[in-house]
Structure 1
Amino acid sequence: MISLLHTADWQIGRVFSQFEPDDAAALFEARFKAVERLAAIAAERKVDAVLVAGDVFDLQTVSDKTIRRMFNAMQGFAGPWLLIPGNHDSALSESVWSRAQRLGAVAPNIVCCLEPRPHTVAGKFTLLPAPLTQRHTYGDLTDWFAAEPDEEGLPRIGLAHGCVQGILSEDIDSANPIAAGRAAQARLDYLALGDWHGTRQIDDRTWYAGTPETDRFRANDSGQALLVAIDGAGAVPAVEPVRVGQFDWQQWEPRLAVPSDIDELVRKLEQIGSGDVLQLRAQGTCDLAGHNRLGAALDAARARARALVWEGEALRLEPTEEDIQALHADGFVGEALQALREQQGDTDAELARDALLTLARILGAQQGSSHAGAGA
């Protein structure tokens, strides 16, 4: 029996420019922590090897420090690590892999499979890797698997990075194709794939592990690795997803219409914690009082969350008569407020909403000042 830990798409060095600098730095750091957790899982479960199915690095130009840190993060597991390049870190003549070798960063137990040739691993299985040597190919780099003769009695494991044909929509011509049914056609006991960032089963012997640390707002079952147990050559593998990721990325798109919708959204925001990365896209309408409540809830949630991205361009502000009366806006100011309410239906809706909020804040602040002066 052999046991493997299958992972992929570490994207080490990824820059999260859509977030505030402190949040981006934490998400950058989390990818190294994920590798450390993978090493700990591999050691705890006593696997025979860790398979890393490409896109180990996010780009070729990561710093030397990042390269060293990544390989240092793997030190918690002393067994074999078997890595292939993907489309982000393809094995060009001069690449992040050649730099890693020159830096002396690659430990003896780490095998960077930069050529399509078989490896016998610890006398327990045969690895057939299909490394990408350029970013995009339009031929199937796993073709050679079928012609490779069996090593008697050893399970055959494929390792590749690309798109199994037939997964994407028919009108999408994806680069780096992998034939559907490759595992059966090439007599593989298991085909470990990378490129798809979520965990996904293709058939009994073919799986995408997904990225071990979620990196996008998409419900694709990411943040995991796969523990694979194979009783022997020809046996169907037993595959167990294991949680690795630190952060939970969520995308909310609430439609607001009545005050109770604001109540519900505020309640949900109160549950946000330090492990959450949230993108909130609100649409619909709310009154000024509701908008103020939502703003306060967002400010509180930002302080608790790892990262929170608010997109309120599609939320129309509809102050009620009570809102306007509470601001004591009459005469010219009242007319301006009414005009801004009406302009939210025009092409400059976002500008009108922002002006309306600004004017409301000014009036509210003046009101607060006058009350304070009266109390003095």
Structure 2
Amino acid sequence: MRLLHTADWHLGQTFHQFERGYEHQRFLDWLLETLAAEEIDALLIAGDIFDNTNPSAVAQRQLYRFLAAAKQRLPRLDIVIIAGNHDSGGRLEAPVPLLEGFDITVIGHTTRDPAGAVELNRLVIPLHDSDGAIAAWCLAIPFLRPGDVPRVAIDGDPYLQGIKALYQQTMEWAVNRQKPGQAIIALGHCHMTGGQLSEESERRILIGGSEALPVSLFDPAMTYVALGHLHRAQRVGGQERVRYSGSPLPMSFAEIHYPHQVIRVDLEGGLLREIKPISIPRFVELLRVPAQPAPPNEVLDQLAALDLADAPLETQPYLEARVLFNSPESGLRTRIEAALDGKPVRFARIESNYRIETGRPGADNPQSLDELERLQPDEIFKKLHLQQYSTEPSSDLLEAFRELLLAPDEEANP
């Protein structure tokens, strides 16, 4: 049996005010051809289908036209979709009565039986090989919010313990139905401990990284674990079988060199035979000028010297100007736009960097406003402590700071 693992499409995303419908459509067209060329039996989409919980009609049409085209091209193809943290689970599941008739499974959230227990049966999906026989069972676990997980009476964070319990329970459900020669595949949308985040496009969900899950969550009997949420394609915990496919398009200029891909997974007799990343073409280029931040006049000179081939607007590259300031400078955007006037490029943003005063830790490394904006409060606290006292705060002091952040505002809530 052959699977294809993809995630984090973010249909409907705009890239610094520019619509990306053309790029997304090119990706979906490429994906359709890849499914056929690679003779895929099951397509697993691990969440963040849309960029937000209220996607545009255009973005929704792109998804459903792709699904219709995929089933028309490959009638036996199993498709399993789970919701990510950017998706509305209810919106994704709205067309389920129609999609079920095409062997398309969508899991947006968990449901409960009259006794209040999570209904595990709808989270375990059979996957069929080219002959129509069940070759694998897929544990389809969407992004889990506190109300989605089982209630567990054990020590520790009830949310994290509930996530672990749900994966264990669905695994047991699948094992009870598994026959010799059938694999068990986990499909999830979560942040794993040690996972490498994109520098700009993906942020931690909770403060302090407490949402991160250990790779030990996944039972050794799981043949492959297909994850979504982090945009950088990567293995997790050093395990070949546990992977993020990454996003198909660069979601920020920081991802300019990421190996965007989908992952082909070959199974044989219930065992993992081969994992093969398949590179996705770059449909629209990203330009960072200059390669390293430089003073405004140097940046303007390089922009004026750009020599680019003419191209339709939708295929013109996005451009980021990387400027190193000694002090704020008004009117620079207008000057950059004038330098780029008539050039076939879409000016997306200025990356503003400021020199740090010498004589302090980190003075030799210019800090951009975007980098500062991405910092969590505890990270800012650690940087300030290091700058003031030349040492990082103790674990006790850092924990006290985090408790202060999470404490209710007594003045606002008397």
Q: 1:249, 1:278 within 8 Å by CA — same for their partners in 2?
A: yes
Deviations 1:96-130 (A, max 9, x none): 1233347x467613211345532221112111111
**Corresponding letter in the other structure for 2:124:** P
- Matching of residue 144 in structure 1 with residue 169 in structure 2: yes
Counterparts in 2 of 1:10 and 1:260: CA distance versus 1, 3 Å: closer
Counterparts in 2 of 1:133 and 1:68: CA distance versus 1, 3 Å: farther
Unaligned regions of 5+ residues in structure 1, if any? 286-290, 317-376
Match for residue 280 of structure 1?
321
> 1:216 Cα deviation (Å)?
1.7
> 1:252 Cα deviation (Å)?
4.3
Match for residue 106 of structure 2?
112
- Of the three residues 180, 183, 188, the one matched with 2:215 is 180
Structure 2: distance between partners of 1:258 and 1:67:
42
Deviations 1:303-344 (A, max 9, x none): x12x3224286699xxxxxxxxxxxxxxxxxxxxxxxxxxxx
Q: Which has more radius of gyration?
A: 1
Q: 1:34, 1:245 within 8 Å by CA — same for their partners in 2?
A: no
Q: Note the 1:332-343 alignment, pairs <5 A.
A: none
Counterparts in 2 of 1:275 and 1:233: CA distance versus 1, 3 Å: farther
Structure 1: distance between partners of 2:323 and 2:194:
35
Match for residue 211 of structure 1?
247
- Of the three residues 76, 79, 87, the one matched with 2:69 is 76
Deviations 1:45-77 (A, max 9, x none): 111111100111222322455423311123332
Structure 2: distance between partners of 1:249 and 1:111:
35
Deviations 1:259-287 (A, max 9, x none): 887665655x32587452221122258xx
Counterparts in 2 of 1:296 and 1:135: CA distance versus 1, 3 Å: farther
Deviations 1:178-225 (A, max 9, x none): 321444x34111100000112112221011111112222223625421
More displaced 10-residue stretch of structure 1: 243-252 or 42-51: 243-252
Counterparts in 2 of 1:311 and 1:228: CA distance versus 1, 3 Å: same
Match for residue 3 of structure 1?
2
- Matching of residue 198 in structure 1 with residue 198 in structure 2: no
- Of the three residues 187, 207, 221, the one matched with 1:159 is 187
Q: Note the 1:10-25 alignment, pairs <5 A.
A: 10-16=9-15, 18-19=16-17, 23-24=18-19
Counterparts in 2 of 1:143 and 1:135: CA distance versus 1, 3 Å: same
Q: 1:224, 1:245 within 8 Å by CA — same for their partners in 2?
A: no
Match for residue 308 of structure 1?
347
- Of the three residues 129, 132, 137, the one matched with 2:140 is 129
> 1:168 Cα deviation (Å)?
6.0
Structure 1: distance between partners of 2:61 and 2:297:
53
Q: Note the 1:50-61 alignment, pairs <5 A.
A: 50-61=43-54
> 1:172 Cα deviation (Å)?
3.0
More displaced 10-residue stretch of structure 1: 257-266 or 209-218: 257-266
Counterparts in 2 of 1:195 and 1:251: CA distance versus 1, 3 Å: farther
Q: 2:96, 2:106 within 8 Å by CA — same for their partners in 1?
A: no
Match for residue 299 of structure 1?
341
Q: 1:88, 1:135 within 8 Å by CA — same for their partners in 2?
A: no
> 1:11 Cα deviation (Å)?
1.4
| Percent of aligned positions that are identical | 21
**Corresponding letter in the other structure for 1:231:** E
Structure 2: distance between partners of 1:245 and 1:276:
11
Structure 1: distance between partners of 2:297 and 2:251:
34
Counterparts in 2 of 1:167 and 1:309: CA distance versus 1, 3 Å: same
**Corresponding letter in the other structure for 2:12:** G
Match for residue 235 of structure 1?
272
Structure 2: distance between partners of 1:133 and 1:246:
32
Structure 2: distance between partners of 1:60 and 1:258:
39
Structure 2: distance between partners of 1:155 and 1:108:
23
Q: 1:127, 1:158 within 8 Å by CA — same for their partners in 2?
A: yes
Match for residue 336 of structure 1?
none
Counterparts in 2 of 1:292 and 1:159: CA distance versus 1, 3 Å: closer
Match for residue 92 of structure 2?
97
**Corresponding letter in the other structure for 1:98:** E
* RMSD (Å) for aligned C-alpha atoms: 3.7
Structure 1: distance between partners of 2:66 and 2:42:
16
Structure 2: distance between partners of 1:35 and 1:97:
18
> 1:228 Cα deviation (Å)?
1.9
Structure 1: distance between partners of 2:86 and 2:296:
46
**Corresponding letter in the other structure for 1:11:** H
Normalized against structure 2, the TM-score is what? Answer: 0.60
> 1:34 Cα deviation (Å)?
2.0
More displaced 10-residue stretch of structure 1: 56-65 or 43-52: 56-65
Count of residues paired in the alignment: 295
Match for residue 47 of structure 1?
40
Structure 2: distance between partners of 1:14 and 1:278:
17
Counterparts in 2 of 1:235 and 1:7: CA distance versus 1, 3 Å: closer
